[in-house]
Structure 1
Amino acid sequence: MNLRRLFAIVLKELRQMRRDRVTLAMIVGIPVMQLVLFGYAINLNLRGLDAGIADQANTAASRAAVMDMVATGVIAPAAEADTPQQLMEMLRRGEISVGVVVPPDFERRVSEGREAVQVLVDGSDTVVQSAAIQLAQLPLQGAAAGGGRPPQAGSGQIAVVAFYNPERRSAVNIVPGLIGVILTMTMVLFTGVAIVRERERGNMELLIATPVSRSELMVGKVLPYAAIGLVQTTVILLLGLWLFQVPVLGSVLHVYLAAVLLILANLTLGLLISTRAQSQFQAMQMTFFVFLPSILLSGFMFPFAGMPRVVQWFAEALPLTHFLRLIRGIMLRGASLWELWPEVLALLAFTAVMMTLAILRFRKRLD
């Protein structure tokens, strides 16, 4: 082995990496991104869960009990209701994660040592369910008014009732999310290399010479992969039902409509990447930068409520974040697509912006 020739090859590779901005970004960006995401943004100790309060007693003691629960930091009041039924509707629509019900005879129940407060929890997220259980250990200070014995912590006066996944099976929470994760990984990657592959094979010049418009070319690139995405959705749904008995409480049609929204959002994002990448390898590198934040910040692996506010703002820009709210709401809580309209609008807006940018970027590269 000639050390001089070996050194020349090493020098050539270093110079080539220096010219490849995407590779340089990955060398520094990947460790920085993982350090920030895992060390700062990821938090399993949930605080500030959105809670709805139905204080039917509306006395000084009941208000003090609610304030004690809020003081734990586990919940944060986000809505008020008159009845438990209203709280259940809020839970089903995903507006709150926890509902607190204080019955009209609150003080008598406390003085008798009976169940005095009921906490309704969206059990479709097992981490949220575990956090809410901490409230059951809170002692209620209200027995003195009724002349009874003050209850001790954990005496069962605060009952936590989990809906949609009372058995706390992880598969019920994970399988619907896997639809989004798999569609994000495959759809962005497929279209991320679409235009680059045409350029590398020499087909781009032929496409430019045809009467096909740029918009028609971009949309035509998207539609075949959309059908593939629906096939993947069907496979996951069937396997989830067969292997893990994951329910579909809502409309199957709405499940597919939600999947179509995510598929289109990811495909247009992939097209934008494809117009920016110089090679298929670069396209795959850029796809990784999209996939890693999506899987870590969307709420699939780690609870969204445990992330800092700034990170939550960033996560709102990711299609997977909105899809997870849609698919879990439809499959696990039986909500309709129209009840979750903010997430629908977010995905439609993302698709429109990404498609517009991809078409504009594609035009500039052809000039």
Structure 2
Amino acid sequence: MHTTLLKDFSVSAAIAGFVTVLVGFTSSAVIVFQAAQAFDASPAEIGSWMGALGLGMGLTCIVLSLRYRVPVVTAWSTPGAAMLITTATGVPMEEAIGAFLISAVLITLCGFSGWFERAINRIPMSIAAGMLAGVLLRFGLDVFISMQTQFVMTFSMFCIYLIMRRFSPRYAVVTALILGILIAGSQGLLQIDTVRLQLAEPVLTTPRFSLSALIGVALPLFVVTMASQNVPGVAVIRASGYTVPISPLIGWTGATTLVLAPFGAFALNLAAITAAICMGREAHEDPARRYVAAIAAGVFYLIIGLFGGTVGSIFAAFPQELVLAIAGLALLGTIGNGLLTALIQEKEREPALITFLVTASGITLFSIGSAFWGLVAGGLAIAISQVKR
């Protein structure tokens, strides 16, 4: 196993893993901090939350990717964290931890029982690909939107990416990232002086169970995580051309959450946006060797788990435009492939387009994100199109 991993290792895969963590952390870590603060968490408890989440994501990324030789990327539930901010009022930390445990049990049951996989198997590939392209569209647009505020840095990254795609595709994103950091440094945009080294210490909270926390926190967290995170997570895996049993993936994310919830890991799930970075051609030209990128992401997540809030200050040192640009460039190929797969079959073209548009709209209904509603709209369009006249 170790020999195979060494043989499959590549710098581009390691960089893809780093970009995955960079994008995942910088885009949503602040929401997790706010969720912890909503439960009146102390600085030590916030560090414990980040540590537990980093450990959980790191272990699941590494173990599941090694087990299936497929890039399996996990993440914390960003919409779940956003929901916690709004539902935390009056809920003590002990009851919140109890709610996290109940949600984790439900996710574990849905995974290992096969219920979730049987439901997800009914989604056509064109619909899944349309949803994937819709989820990632704003990242592609952000490359060019970032040029409004940091033109020199972002345009230079874009140009070097195009040049490297022509002559050395594997290192296009790597080169763009290095150039972006150099330009940001020369312009004084890197906030290195804010970085502080501090290890995270686990804080164990004894759970307490209540009916109000079950209804107000546990069930919404479970529904939002499954609908807004795991559904698009599976769609990304399949739209990227990988075949892997879904039930154990979901089951193990739930089981890992169950173990780490008393330390603040509120919900772990399959990643969607960040997973696409590890599954794209920028990670490696050979799809069979892209699993190394997910393992690299796991290693970086373990470092986050070890140093907790410190890593947040490291990622915060990068200017936002650099993060947006490198994420968008890393996902261009995946967006293109998603659109191609979505629109190639004429019979399913319009439903796939509807899925893409609804997902790209960013609409949120009942605290559930646009990826789920895109699938619903596309499924409805396919169902109506198949009705006999």
Normalising by structure 1, we get a TM-score of: 0.22
TM-score normalised by the chain length of structure 2: 0.21
Higher share of residues assigned strand: 1
| Higher helix proportion (structure 1 or 2) | 2
